[in-house]
Structure formats: structure tokens, C-alpha cells
Amino acid sequence: MSDTEKPTARLREKGRILSPSEIDRTLVRLAHQVVERNHGGANLGLVGIKRRGVPLAQRLAALIEAIEKQPVDVGALDIEFYRDDLSTHDVRPVVHPGEIGFDVNGRNIVLVDDVLYTGRTTRAALDALFHHGRPNRVQLLVLIDRGHRELPIEAGFVGRVVQTSRQEIIEVKLREVDGEEQVLIVERMTAPAGDALHAQAEGQ
């Protein structure tokens, strides 16, 4: 799971942030930025954070390949969230063991996620990435940055910055995962029990 929240209460849609065509245009822009800042794609590897970071990474890789006329390696990290509802412990990211899909040693790695929120997902992904090897450089790319950071983590590539409250949720819907394509901002109608525990993924 990423920084995208898992809804736990009744929600009210407040508006659409990105349409399908806007998502496409945003990814094209981000792909060009990645190529420019990495001086091409020769030593580049994209690692998507499941779930929606993976199709985003795959789309970006295809765009970069079209720009640079050479294939780009794409891998995945599987991070979910766990909370013991009988305790007062906050939700925390848990990395599922598994291979990324390519050798990260000496590579310029771009971690790809859909929403950047507290930064805990990214922190877990970085720990997992360095468990697999020693990249030359690691950068973070997110479709949406919604603020409310709890860790000193920032994305080098951002599709859209959206100011949100704690009661608002960013819903990223991608055709590969959800069968539809858009980014919405929704609001909780009633606060879930134990809201201080962030009973939502990253929580994305």
C-alpha cells in the first residue's frame, strides 16, 4: 500500500484533481524531467511502490523508453500497513520480502508512488531498497504531494501539490488497478474511531 489512504468512514466527494487526460499529461512532463535530471536513461531504474506506484512506474518507463529509444528497468516494492487495534500503536509500514526485479547496485533509482503524505511509506521503501543493494542515487517521484509530512522526506518529482486537511483523503484511481482513471479529493463525513492513530494507509 502507498500513501493513498484506505477509506474507513463515510466519504463525501469534494472535487476531481486530475482527469484521465491530465494524468497522462502529468506523466509525460514527469518523464521528461526524469530524463533531464538523470542525463538520459542509460543507468536508470524505476521502482514502483505497490499498489498504484507500480503501474505509474510502468507508464513512466514506457514514456522514457520512447524518449531515449532504450528500455528502462522497472521493479516493485510491496509495502503494506499494520495496526494492532488492541493497542495504542500507530499504523506502521511493513515491507513484504521479495525481489525488486533487477539489480539496483550502482543505478540511478527513481522510487515511484501515487501520493506522498507523512513520508513513512517512503522511509520503509528506502530501507527495503538499500537491503537489495547500493544504488548510485535515489530520487522520489509522486503523482500527488498532499503535505502533512512527519518525516524529513521530499519528492524530487511531483505531479501536483494539493493542500489538504487531515480529514481529507486523496483517492488515486488507475485503470490497471481500479478499472477507472482519475484523482479525487474526498472528505470524511464522520471521524473514524481512533483517528489519532491514522487508521489509514500512510495514510500513500
Domains of the chain (ranges, CATH numbers) = 21-162 (3.40.50.2020)
- The stretches of 9-80 forming alpha helices (DSSP H) are 20-37, 53-68
Residues 6+ apart with CB under 8 A from 10: 188, 189, 190
pTM of the model: 0.83
pLDDT per residue over 165-186, tens digit each?
989 999 999 999 999 999 999 9
Cis peptide before 166 (omega within 30 of 0): no
* pLDDT tens column, 111-162: 999 999 999 999 999 999 999 999 999 999 999 999 999 999 999 999 999 9
